[in-house]
Amino acid sequence: MNPSNFLKIKNKIPINVKILAVSKGFNSQEIKTIQSIGQNDFGESKVQEALEKQLILKDLKKIKWHFIGRIQSNKIRKIVQNFQYIHSVDSFEKLQKISYISREEKKNPSIMLQIKLSNDPTKGGFNPELLILKWREIKELKNIILTGLMTINPKGLSSKENFELFKKCRSLADSLELPDCSMGMSGDWKEAIDAGATWLRLGSLIFGDRY
Ligand SMILES: *Cc1c(COP(=O)(O)O)cnc(C)c1O
């Protein structure tokens, strides 16, 4: 992992698009290196792994931690306690539970709802029609700041197919008046920018290959 590599990538990304450095699989020292050159948003997908790094890095107060992994219901309290952003809320039941627990914990996490736009069986998320049906109830939930939608494209799509799925995410977010779209990873970030992403989730592009 090479800091100048990160700065090169950053220079290619419009300033209105935020970078989430996905540090899963990388250690606290590597996070520290990236943080020291101005990156403060880090994404993790496993609670236990994240908590270990958070403990080591607790003095770096500027870091904002984002949870981007599949949410297990019994880990929601730990997630609410330790992450300011949650990108991967994939059902109404979990959202309700996050709201309830956030109230108990006196927290107010920023939330993005993961939507399912393809038939990839390995990826969860709200069905878009169901999301619209539930929208009123969702808007009433307290102690959460609903800022946007998140999507993960299946692997192996053409550039055009990636762009078109991302466009669907953007249109749905616009129709719900949500500012954020968390979309685009190391392999499809350009298409995501073109389609209107506000958060790119970049792992290997920044940190190199995971061991
Ligand atoms: C791992 C991961 C990423 C980053 O993947 P890269 O291909 O390394 O950029 C982004 N989003 C989610 C949800 C992930 O799990």
**Cβ partners under 8 Å of residue 114, min gap 6:** 87, 88, 89, 90, 124, 125, 126, 149, 150, 151, 152
- Checking if the pLDDT of 175 tops 80, the result is yes
Q: Are 181 and 5 in contact (CB under 8 A)?
A: no
> Which residue did the predictor score with more confidence, 211 or 148?
148
pLDDT tens for 73-122 read 999 999 999 999 999 999 999 999 999 999 999 999 999 999 999 988 88
- Checking if the pLDDT of 211 tops 80, the result is no
pLDDT at 119: 87
pLDDT at 93: 97
The model carries a pTM of 0.97
- Checking if the pLDDT of 1 tops 80, the result is no
CATH number of the domain where residue 106 is located: 3.20.20.10
Q: Are 182 and 202 in contact (CB under 8 A)?
A: no
pLDDT at 209: 83
Tokens of 44: 């993790």
**Cβ partners under 8 Å of residue 136, min gap 6:** none
Protein residue closest via CA to atom 5 of ligand 1: 203
Distance, CA of 131 to CA of 189 (rounded, Å): 25
Q: pLDDT averaged over the chain?
A: 96
Average pLDDT rounded to a whole number, residues 144-150:
98
Total domains present in the chain: 1
- Checking if the pLDDT of 210 tops 80, the result is no
State whether residue 147 is helix, strand or coil.
strand
Q: Give the distance (Å) from ligand 1 centre to CA of residue 185.
A: 6
DSSP 74: G
pLDDT at 171: 98
Protein residue closest via CA to atom 6 of ligand 1: 203
Domain range for 39: 3-207
Distance, CA of 178 to CA of 145 (rounded, Å): 11
Q: Give the distance (Å) from ligand 1 centre to CA of residue 114.
A: 14
Protein residue closest via CA to atom 7 of ligand 1: 186
Tokens of 38: 């101005």
Q: Give the distance (Å) from ligand 1 centre to CA of residue 66.
A: 12
Match 């607790």 to its residue by tokens. Answer: 58
Residues with CB under 6 A from ligand 1: 22, 24, 45, 68, 152, 185-187, 201-205
Q: Which atom of ligand 1 is nearest to the CA of 22?
A: 4
Tokens of 168: 């669907």
Q: Which pLDDT band, with edges at 50, 70 and 90, does 48 fall under?
A: very high
Q: Give the distance (Å) from ligand 1 centre to CA of residue 23.
A: 9
Protein residue closest via CA to atom 10 of ligand 1: 201
